[in-house]
Structure formats: structure tokens, C-alpha cells
């Protein structure tokens, strides 16, 4: 091939320029090409400095690996990103291999080996890399593979980008999505199961009432009823995790609650663990609004986890305090935004084995457990998370391998309740009546047991499976006065709230009792009850049903 001389090149450029005078766009493109070529030629003489500037602009590390000799050169980022000083140790590929996380090392090495053995000119992958201070960065490396004339890899030049924050956000999103999906599943299953428990409890009460409580059959039925009661606690935990549980919150003083638990904790955790309570000043009595049963279960679960982490004994510390939280004083490591205000802080700390960063990352995931098979379900902390969030609070965990664990529960501080008024003890027999009650329930078992209990108590009962049937029955019995509507809130076609609004528009005097196994937050805003409306959570027994119906009917 003959190379053109300088004069020949100039002539060709001139002729090309002359030919392109009629096309301004081609002139512009030619000018840009010449300008870019000039910049490229200028930068080529300063390529090392140019590459360093580009690398510094991206804050990435760059490693240049001589594949045949194993030498490693770090043009950028060894100190600024990874924290290492330049040394002979860092100039060998073994240095890079040693700093890759043990769980990622084999995978990354195999992937790079496959790329080098093939024909690809590019490689990319993610792995964790240990900094000089011992912490790990999540790195995304994108590399160019330089090959010789025979296609053998001779150099591997990679740009290492810190994607730790992005990885953490992605993992947090995945955990949130998994918890939300499980919450929806748990809420639906628990709601349906509560219908079964309501039926079991109701018919057990009917059998006990008809056979007497001293017969052999009665003792068997009582055991069935007790088992149903324990099952309702489990469904309550599922609903608490899904944040759809119909809690019964009340205002309590936190120090009294913890003091009452101290004896239970001593019996649960064993003699080789010391229990210490540091409660805030009694003069500053702190009140919270919670379901006491659920909060008690939460603290007991945390204590049991602490016991399991202290196989050789140790100390369990329960502490309460009052904290003011603002945007400036929001606790570090908080995964969700705090509403500014005063919180009551309950801390449960142990001197056990602690947790690694990887374990903490999955702590609140359902079914995640570090215990041996058969010793844990993996629902304890997931349920605790649901209970705390449903009560308007926050939960966070501080832990380090070998240094114990501290779980901090933040619950909004509320004003103390008014002094209790005297209430006349209720009679042992269930309250009765003769009013007419419309029972609207789509679950046939719950509807039948509710109707049967109410009729046994003397009430006149109309039953309907859905809103359309109920409207038809009301129209057919226009001369019959209905005193109370007992309706499920969640039903197909027409919700209980919509039917109640339709019924009360024609008969404002009718009292309404809503029934549901869901927390109202999970319902459509238009289907929720207004403040002051009566509510009966599932599962319920005959006594609870009778008391709630009578309470609604007697209200002026």
C-alpha cells in the first residue's frame, strides 16, 4: 500500500472541501471531525494524565492487571476509594483476591476466568471488597480485556465503582416488597381463619350452655374451646405482622408494664442470666397507647431471642426512657422517617453473641432465622415489627458480632388517661333482649352461629348473605322495625359500610355494629366506620357478641 504525501493529502482535502461547498451540513460535520481528531491527537500525547483525570472525576478505582505476570497496577483509587497505601503487596493480583469477600471470591474468580479463556473483550460483575478499615464496599467492576495476536488475554483493565448505597437501597426495596407480599398473604389467611375460629368458639359455647359445664362431654368441649383460643393468638400474630390486626389499644403506664413482666422473664430465661431493669424516673410517668397483650408478647419474644444468644449466661437489660425526636435528633440507622414528638423508648439489650451485618440485613424478614431447625419459626421479629409499626412506633436494632444486641422500641408518648369511674359488676348471665336484629354476613358459618346465639338470647333475627339480599328483605318487611344491624365490613358486591349508610338514610334510628378481622387501615377509606360506631373484632365468642349488641342497643 502506498502512503499519500503531504501535498497529495492537502489537494484531496481541498477538492473535498470544494465539492462540499453546496452542502453546509457536510461542511459542519467535516469541521467537527477535524476538530475532534485534533483533540484526540492532542490528548493522545497526554493519555496517562488524561486517564487519571477521568478516573478522578468518576471517583472510581482503576486496576491494570498483567494477566501473564500477575502484576497489578493501580492508576487510581487505591488510596482514595479503598483506603490502602501503595506497597509491593498491592502490586500483585493476590492482593485483590485476598480482599474480595470470601463468599464472593470463588464466583468472581470463576466468572473472570471464563471471560479470559473465551473471546470476549468485556467483563462486568459485582462483588464485595474489603477496605483498609475492615469494612466492605459493594463494587461494580467493568473491565476491558486486551488480547494479543493469537487471541490470548494479556491485560485486564477494570474500573471499580462503589455501588454500596445503591445495593443497600435495592436490598431494602426487595425486603419491603417481600414483607408486603407476605403481609397480604398472612392477612388474607388469618382473616379467613378467624371466621372458622368464630364458628368454633360460638358452637363450643352453645354446647357448654346446653350440656352443663360438669359433664365429661363438657370437659372435652372446653379443651376444644381452649385450643381455638390459642389459635386466635397465632392469627393475631399474623395480622399484626401484616398490620391488619384489629388491636384493642389502651393507655398504659410503661414502667408498670415492665415491672409486671420481670417475674415472667426470670422464669423464662433461666438461672444463668441476670435480669436488670433501668426504668426512668417514677415522677415522669410515661404513658403509651398499645394493645398490652401484643406488647407483652413482643418483649417476651425479644427476651427469648436474647436468652438464645447467651448460651453461656450473661445479662439481660430492660430500660425505659423518654426521648424527644426531631428532624435533627432522629435516631441514626432509622429506616423510616420519624414523626417529630415525644416517644417512650423501651430497650432490650443482651451480652450475647451479637449479629453480623449480613444477619441484620435480613432481621425482620418472615421465616428468616439463625436458630437450629425446629427451634424457631422466623416469625418472631417479623411479628414484632408489625406490632410496633401498627402501634405508630418504630423499631431498630444495634448489634455487632461478639458484642451483644440491643433492640430499641420507640412508641409515641400520650397523655395519661382520666381516673377510672366505678362500674357495677356485670351479671354472670349473658345480657338478653327482644329487639329485631339484621345479621349481614357472607361467611355462612359465622352467620349461622351469630343468628343462633342471638335467637337464644331472645332477639328477633333477620339474616342475609349479601347487601342485595338484605335490601330485598328490608323492602319485603317494610312494616317491621329493625333496631340493629350487625354487619361484616368486608363483603363482595356491597361493603358493610355502604349498606349501613343506605339503611340509615331511610331509618336514622338504627344502631350498627361492624364486624371484621381486619384493621380498618386496610379497608378502602369509604368503607371504614366513623368514630363512635361500634366494632366487634373477629374471632369473637357468645359473651363478646351479646355484650357488644346490648351496648349498642342501650346507647341513647
pLDDT digits (tens, 9 = 90+) for 394-443: 888 888 888 899 999 999 999 988 765 544 444 458 899 999 999 999 88
Paired sense of beta strands 273-278 and 61-66, if any: unpaired
| SS3 state of residue 143 | strand
Selection from 166, 187, 162, 194 nearest residue 82 by Cα: 162
CA distance 239 to 191: 8
R_g over Cα of the chain: 35
Instruction: Please report the pLDDT score of residue 264 as a whole number.
Output: 67
- Position 13 pLDDT exceeds 50: no
Q: Please state the rounded mean pLDDT for residues 465-492.
A: 86
CA distance 434 to 534: 20
- Position 40 pLDDT exceeds 50: no
CATH fold of 251-414 reads: Heat Shock Protein 90 (3.30.565)
| SS3 state of residue 493 | coil
Q: Please state the rounded mean pLDDT for residues 488-505.
A: 86
CA distance 88 to 92: 7
- Position 543 pLDDT exceeds 80: yes
Beta bridge pairs of residue 137:
129
How far out from the chain centre does Cα 62 lie? 38
CA distance 512 to 537: 14
Per the document, the length of the chain is 556
Instruction: Please report the pLDDT score of residue 39 as a whole number.
Output: 42
- Position 110 pLDDT exceeds 90: yes
- Position 350 pLDDT exceeds 60: yes
- Position 52 pLDDT exceeds 70: no
Q: Which of 276-280, 387-391, 530-534 has the highest mean pLDDT?
A: 276-280
CA distance 90 to 73: 8
Beta bridge pairs of residue 407:
348, 397
The residue ranking higher by pLDDT, 241 or 232, is 232
Paired sense of beta strands 484-488 and 436-440, if any: parallel
CA distance 303 to 265: 7
Q: Which helix (H) or strand (E) holds 240?
A: helix 216-242
Domain at 436-554, CATH from 3.40.47.10, 3.40.50.880, 3.20.20.100, 3.40.50.2300: 3.40.50.2300
CATH fold of 51-162 reads: Beta-Lactamase (3.30.450)
Cell of 205: 359455647
Query: Angle at the Cα of 186 (from 376 to 450), degrees rounded to 5?
Result: 120
HSE (CB half, 13 Å, CA atoms) of 219?
A: 3
Selection from 537, 551, 541 nearest residue 235 by Cα: 537
Q: Which of 96-105, 346-355, 468-477, 494-503 has the highest mean pLDDT?
A: 96-105
Q: Please state the rounded mean pLDDT for residues 186-202.
A: 81
CA distance 407 to 396: 6
Per-residue pLDDT band at 29 (split at 50, 70, 90): very low
Instruction: Please report the pLDDT score of residue 47 as a whole number.
Output: 57
Cell of 293: 397483650
Q: Please state the rounded mean pLDDT for residues 331-357.
A: 78
Instruction: Please report the pLDDT score of residue 428 as a whole number.
Output: 57
The residue ranking higher by pLDDT, 234 or 118, is 118
CA distance 333 to 400: 14
Q: What percent of the chain shows pLDDT beyond 70?
A: 73
Cβ neighbours of residue 124 closer than 8 Å, sequence gap 6 or more: 140, 141, 142, 143
Per-residue pLDDT band at 56 (split at 50, 70, 90): low
> Cis omega before residue 539 (within 30°)?
yes
Q: Which helix (H) or strand (E) holds 324?
A: strand 314-325
Q: Please state the rounded mean pLDDT for residues 528-553.
A: 84
Cell of 432: 338478653
Instruction: Please report the pLDDT score of residue 232 as a whole number.
Output: 77
Residue with cell 473483550: 121
Instruction: Please report the pLDDT score of residue 361 as a whole number.
Output: 67
Amino acid at each position: 500500500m502506498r502512503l499519500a504525501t503531504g501535498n497529495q493529502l492537502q489537494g484531496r482535502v481541498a477538492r473535498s472541501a470544494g465539492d462540499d461547498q453546496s452542502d453546509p451540513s457536510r461542511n459542519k460535520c467535516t469541521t467537527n471531525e477535524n476538530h475532534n481528531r485534533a483533540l484526540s491527537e492532542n490528548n493522545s500525547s497526554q493519555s496517562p494524565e488524561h486517564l487519571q483525570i477521568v478516573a478522578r472525576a468518576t471517583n472510581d478505582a482503576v486496576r491494570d492487571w498483567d494477566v501473564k505476570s500477575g502484576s497489578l497496577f493501580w492508576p487510581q483509587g487505591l488510596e482514595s476509594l479503598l483506603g490502602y497505601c501503595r506497597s509491593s503487596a498491592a502490586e500483585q493480583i493476590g492482593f485483590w483476591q485476598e480482599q474480595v469477600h470470601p463468599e464472593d471470591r470463588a464466583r468472581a474468580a470463576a466468572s473472570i476466568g471464563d471471560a479470559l479463556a473465551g473471546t470476549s473483550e468485556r467483563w462486568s460483575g459485582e462483588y464485595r471488597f474489603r477496605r483498609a478499615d475492615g469494612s466492605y464496599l459493594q463494587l461494580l467492576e467493568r473491565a476491558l480485556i486486551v488480547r494479543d495476536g493469537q487471541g490470548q488475554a494479556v491485560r485486564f483493565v477494570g474500573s471499580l465503582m462503589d455501588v454500596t448505597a445503591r445495593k443497600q437501597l435495592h436490598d431494602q426495596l426487595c425486603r419491603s416488597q417481600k414483607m408486603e407480599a407476605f403481609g397480604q398473604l398472612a392477612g388474607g389467611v388469618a382473616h379467613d381463619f378467624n371466621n372458622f375460629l368464630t364458628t368454633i368458639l360460638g358452637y363450643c359455647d352453645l354446647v357448654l350452655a346446653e350440656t352443663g359445664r360438669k359433664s365429661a362431654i363438657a370437659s372435652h368441649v372446653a379443651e376444644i374451646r381452649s385450643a381455638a383460643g390459642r389459635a386466635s393468638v397465632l392469627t393475631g400474630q399474623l395480622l399484626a405482622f401484616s398490620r391488619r390486626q384489629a388491636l384493642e389499644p389502651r393507655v398504659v403506664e410503661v414502667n408498670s408494664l415492665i415491672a409486671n413482666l420481670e417475674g415472667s422473664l426470670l422464669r423464662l430465661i433461666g438461672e444463668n442470666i441476670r435480669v436488670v431493669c433501668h426504668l426512668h424516673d417514677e415522677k415522669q410517668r410515661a404513658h403509651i397507647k398499645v394493645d398490652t397483650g401484643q406488647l407483652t408478647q413482643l418483649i417476651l419474644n425479644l427476651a427469648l431471642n436474647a436468652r438464645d444468644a447467651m448460651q453461656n449466661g450473661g445479662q439481660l437489660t430492660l430500660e425505659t426512657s423518654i426521648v424527644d425526636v426531631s428532624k435533627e435528633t432522629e435516631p441514626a440507622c432509622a429506616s423510616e422517617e420519624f414523626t417529630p414528638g415525644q416517644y417512650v423508648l423501651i430497650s432490650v439489650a443482651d451480652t450475647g453473641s451479637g449479629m453480623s451485618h449480613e444477619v441484620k440485613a435480613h432481621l425482620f424478614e418472615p421465616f428468616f432465622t439463625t436458630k437450629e431447625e425446629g427451634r424457631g419459626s422466623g416469625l418472631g421479629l417479623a411479628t414484632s415489627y408489625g406490632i410496633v409499626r401498627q402501634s405508630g412506633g418504630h423499631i431498630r436494632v444495634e448489634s455487632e458480632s461478639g458484642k451483644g444486641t440491643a433492640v430499641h422500641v420507640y412508641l409515641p408518648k400520650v397523655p395519661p388517661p382520666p381516673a377510672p369511674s366505678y362500674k357495677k359488676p356485670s351479671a354472670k348471665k349473658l345480657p338478653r333482649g327482644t329487639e329485631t336484629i339484621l345479621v349481614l354476613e357472607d361467611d355462612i358459618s359465622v352467620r349461622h352461629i351469630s343468628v343462633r346465639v342471638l335467637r337464644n338470647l331472645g332477639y328477633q333475627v333477620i339474616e342475609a348473605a349479601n347487601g342485595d339480599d338484605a335490601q330485598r328483605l328490608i323492602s319485603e318487611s317494610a312494616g317491621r322495625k329493625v333496631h340493629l344491624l350487625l354487619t361484616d365490613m368486608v363483603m363482595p358486591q356491597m361493603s358493610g359500610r355502604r349498606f349501613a349508610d343506605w339503611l340509615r338514610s331511610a331509618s336514622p334510628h338504627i344502631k350498627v355494629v361492624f364486624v371484621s378481622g381486619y384493621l380498618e387501615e386496610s379497608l378502602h377509606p369509604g368503607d371504614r366506620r366513623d368514630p363512635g360506631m361500634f366494632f366487634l373484632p373477629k374471632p369473637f365468642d357468645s359473651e363478646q357478641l351479646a355484650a357488644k349488641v346490648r351496648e349498642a342497643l342501650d346507647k341513647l
